[in-house]
Structure 1
């Protein structure tokens, strides 16, 4: 009963400064300015405790200048620190615990240096008190912009929905959450909310940040589902914001799903949400769970998600229960080893579970969108182009109030930005599809 899809549009909304103004609510900020000739340029974030996080461009070389705890650190990337082409703007980003310097070359931002501040005894950037005292500085530049960090790419696209699974619409637009990629691995990203117009255009609306139940500070957790439940919101998200890039630092069980509740309008502005752990059943040993998707049916809740036997060997699961605190496993696609983006979709009178089979699966289930029933038995596939990486099958049903409205699918790919230093975590393009 689902149609075939064809690509109709692609978008890449790269923005260093999403909204201007301080103080920051979360450790996701940026400063940028236009370069003036060949004179040295410097951008900085100055904290009330004396910490100063600065980036500098001089003689086509970029550097990071960090003053923290009474010590001065001058850091420069030998491989990436020199400009490849003349730059028109200089940028500083703070994303989680990472400080980066970027240059705008041929209208593309390129990361020229990056440091995890924890490696040099830096401040706790997730501390709200420390963030409240942070202010921007700039010299040798013009047209300065400073405020919250935007993104180098978008991934993990998920429709904002009502609790019954119907898309949440504002006028003719549907909303979706996305992971706003930073200039690095998963711990430089955060959750954002966007609008998709009938013409296929996308517009930023809000950012969501999270407080954890087991540790202090404000986190940029992502891979999020935003659910309108009555007069309030439920927010289920994956605790990716401190997931380490180094394999040796990955701790089994640290990656999981949290749940927040809010009566605020989360579709506008910026918000910090307290959370609790959402306990999800496993089909066996699990080192981590992510990609939650929630639907409330007349019989109770359905929750789709992903579980990993090890990093990274993962597959989709479905749980059900009378409440989100009492869930039991319904099924798991245990024959997969690189399948995620678990998504619940009502097709006629039935619930279906969609997912994305990455190319690291065995040949028979590789590079496709499987369709499962609620026992997680595969019953078909979704016919649509399969971009790079592991694109989620985020299907938008026709609006019943709009005659002739078509099915759509909005997903992402693995195209990186920000240059070689920024690396894998910067994907991807937003890919909008329509009925073929």
Structure 2
């Protein structure tokens, strides 16, 4: 029998600027500055990005290409009371002004810079400067898409996560965290960004799995970093590196990870999970027949460059977070089914064999199993937003942890 899980706790680390970081560490367009106002800026060459706050309202000014524009939200610019702090955040191509106090950080205005500034250009990023009191890498408004980092020696519980930005998927990025299995405390270790094989620039791709394989790290990620709802497409890339991914910030070169979707009518793939088994490689992933209708799938092969489709649960329509787990001597596939609000368990041919008996939070929490001695944790997330109403969907969520009541099922 699989263990039964009961709620153990929730965590919500929120940092507009990664503590102790600096703009010199910024290698992708994820930067932020904070201060008391009335003016904060990010500058690169002749391009100037400004947040202003006059004690009653906050807005943005953008100077690029010899032109200055002003961006003020009619509904959300005004503060209910004097703010104690002002923030300016660059996340992907989006620039946001936020205020804090009384209460948490709230987004007061936002503008998309994609037609004004190439924020992903590495030379532009290298020139980024500010005289703000606090300036550095953008942190997160919430965490989602949590996966265990596999193959880590020493018994540490490490997780990859999607650090939510102030908006949809193209404002988020990948981060690595350490989880204390007793206190459930989370420590931010690093941020990971990606170069694409088919275009220049630095991207905040996410929904990532990190695996230690011999002397190198394998990092498989989903190309959500420039997702455009007008022309939606998502794929999976793979990076290999010997760098110390558990500290600082990293910009990794990637190659396409070709996932087989024969007969699935797939328009996109995401949520990769890699396993080196005794017979070769297994890769769990999600395949979409349209945006957003998706289901879990599994590929297998002797190498990651020679995969064939093993199975797919095509009858499911909003099921993702495909996760491979070695349970009591056999490989199983776990997933998260939003429609039925449950975690189904499959064999490698995607035939359902059961389900986790566990609380199911909001949104589509991934079923990340973490062995802790003779027990288990189930690490997921929920859809609770942050940053106020202006950002819309994408600022979630809380890290939601459940603990096994009993653990008589083997894991590796």
TM-score range, shorter-chain basis?
over 0.9
Instruction: Indicate the RMSD between aligned Cα atoms, in angstroms.
Output: 1.1
Q: Residue 158 of structure 2 aligns with which residue?
A: 175
Q: Residue 234 of structure 1 aligns with which residue?
A: 218
Q: Do the aligned residues in 1 keep the contact of 2:142 with 2:386 (CA within 8 Å)? A: yes
Q: Do the aligned residues in 2 keep the contact of 1:46 with 1:137 (CA within 8 Å)? A: no
Which of 43, 66, 69 matches 1:46?
43
Which of 271, 286, 308 matches 1:291?
271
TM-score w.r.t. the length of structure 1 is: 0.90
Cα shift at 1:2 = 2.0
Query: What whole-Å deviation, never above 9, does each CA across 1:61-120 have from its counterpart, x for those lacking one?
Result: 1110100000010110001111123211000000000000000032300000000012xx
Cα shift at 1:170 = 4.3
Q: Please say if 1:278 is aligned against 2:279.
A: no
Cα shift at 1:122 = 1.5
Which of 343, 353, 356 matches 1:382?
356
CA distance in 1, matches of 2:201, 2:189: 24
Q: Residue 11 of structure 2 aligns with which residue?
A: 11
CA distance in 2, matches of 1:133, 1:242: 22
Q: Residue 130 of structure 1 aligns with which residue?
A: 124
Q: Do the aligned residues in 1 keep the contact of 2:181 with 2:372 (CA within 8 Å)? A: no
Equivalences for residues 319-330 of structure 1 within 5 A: 319-330=299-310
Q: Please say if 1:312 is aligned against 2:292.
A: yes
Q: Residue 335 of structure 1 aligns with which residue?
A: 315
CA distance in 2, matches of 1:250, 1:414: 25
Q: Do the aligned residues in 1 keep the contact of 2:55 with 2:83 (CA within 8 Å)? A: no
Q: Do the aligned residues in 2 keep the contact of 1:169 with 1:175 (CA within 8 Å)? A: no
Q: Residue 347 of structure 2 aligns with which residue?
A: 373
CA distance in 2, matches of 1:148, 1:45: 12
After TM superposition, the runs of 4+ consecutive aligned structure 1 residues lying more than 3 A away are none
Q: Do the aligned residues in 1 keep the contact of 2:141 with 2:387 (CA within 8 Å)? A: yes
Q: Secondary structure at the match of 1:375?
A: coil
Q: Secondary structure at the match of 1:421?
A: coil
Q: Residue 431 of structure 1 aligns with which residue?
A: 400
Equivalences for residues 150-229 of structure 1 within 5 A: 150-162=139-151, 168-171=152-155, 173-199=156-182, 200-229=184-213
CA distance in 2, matches of 1:218, 1:343: 27
Cα shift at 1:22 = 2.1
Which of 52, 55, 64 matches 1:56?
52
Q: Do the aligned residues in 1 keep the contact of 2:87 with 2:97 (CA within 8 Å)? A: yes
CA distance in 1, matches of 2:237, 2:98: 33
Q: Do the aligned residues in 2 keep the contact of 1:212 with 1:274 (CA within 8 Å)? A: yes
Q: Secondary structure at the match of 1:85?
A: coil
Cα shift at 1:218 = 0.4
Q: Do the aligned residues in 1 keep the contact of 2:23 with 2:31 (CA within 8 Å)? A: no
Rate the CA distance shift 1:381–1:215 in 2: closer, same or farther, 3 A.
Answer: same
Q: Residue 408 of structure 2 aligns with which residue?
A: none
Q: Do the aligned residues in 2 keep the contact of 1:372 with 1:379 (CA within 8 Å)? A: yes
Q: Residue 283 of structure 2 aligns with which residue?
A: 303
Q: Do the aligned residues in 2 keep the contact of 1:317 with 1:333 (CA within 8 Å)? A: yes
Query: What whole-Å deviation, never above 9, does each CA across 1:3-22 have from its counterpart, x for those lacking one?
Result: 01111110000000004212
Q: Do the aligned residues in 2 keep the contact of 1:153 with 1:428 (CA within 8 Å)? A: yes
Q: Residue 408 of structure 1 aligns with which residue?
A: 377
Q: Residue 90 of structure 1 aligns with which residue?
A: 86
TM-score w.r.t. the length of structure 2 is: 0.95
CA distance in 1, matches of 2:23, 2:79: 30
Q: Secondary structure at the match of 1:108?
A: coil
Cα shift at 1:169 = 4.9
* Residues paired across the two proteins, number: 401
Q: Residue 141 of structure 1 aligns with which residue?
A: none
